[in-house]
Amino acid sequence: MRIPLIALAALLAACPAANDDDSSSNDDDAADDDDAANDDDSTEPGALRTFMAAAHTGNLGGPTGADALCTSDANNPDATATWKAMIGGLSRIPCADPDCASGTAGQADWVFAPDTEYLRPEGGTLFTTNSDGVFTAYPLGSNVMNSPQNFWTGLDSDWTVFAGEHCNDWNSDGVGVEGRVGWTESDSATWIQGGSVECDGMQQFLCVEQ
pLDDT digits (tens, 9 = 90+) for 118-132: 999 999 999 999 999
pLDDT one-digit tens code per residue, 129-147: 999 999 999 999 999 999 9
Q: Per-residue DSSP letters for 33-56?
A: STTSTTSTTSPPTT-B-EEEEEEE
**In the chain, where the domains are located:** 1-42, 48-210
Provide the 3-class DSSP secondary structure of residue 83.
strand
Cα separation, 19 vs 63, in Å, equals 59
9 burial type by CB count under 10 A (0-12 exposed, 13-18 middle, 19+ buried) = exposed
User: Using the 8-state DSSP alphabet, how is residue 191 labeled?
Assistant: G
* pLDDT of residue 21 exceeding 50: no
At residue 1, does pLDDT exceed 90?
no
Whether residue 105 is predicted with pLDDT greater than 70 in this model: the reply is: yes
What would be the CATH architecture of the domain defined by 48-210?
A: Roll (3.10)
Contact 63, 92 (CB under 8 A): yes
- Average pLDDT in the chain: 84
pLDDT above 70 covers a percentage of the chain that reads 79
d(CA 118, CA 48): 5
Q: Are 90 and 153 in contact (CB under 8 A)?
A: no
pLDDT digits (tens, 9 = 90+) for 27-43: 333 333 333 333 333 45
87 to 22, 64, 119, 151: CA distances (angstroms):
53, 10, 17, 10
As a whole number of angstroms, the distance between CA 56 and CA 42 comes to 34
What element of type H or E holds 197?
A: strand 196-198
If you average pLDDT over residues 170-191, what whole number do you get? 96
Question: Region 196-203: what's the mean pLDDT?
Answer: 97
Mean per-residue pLDDT, 102-128: 96
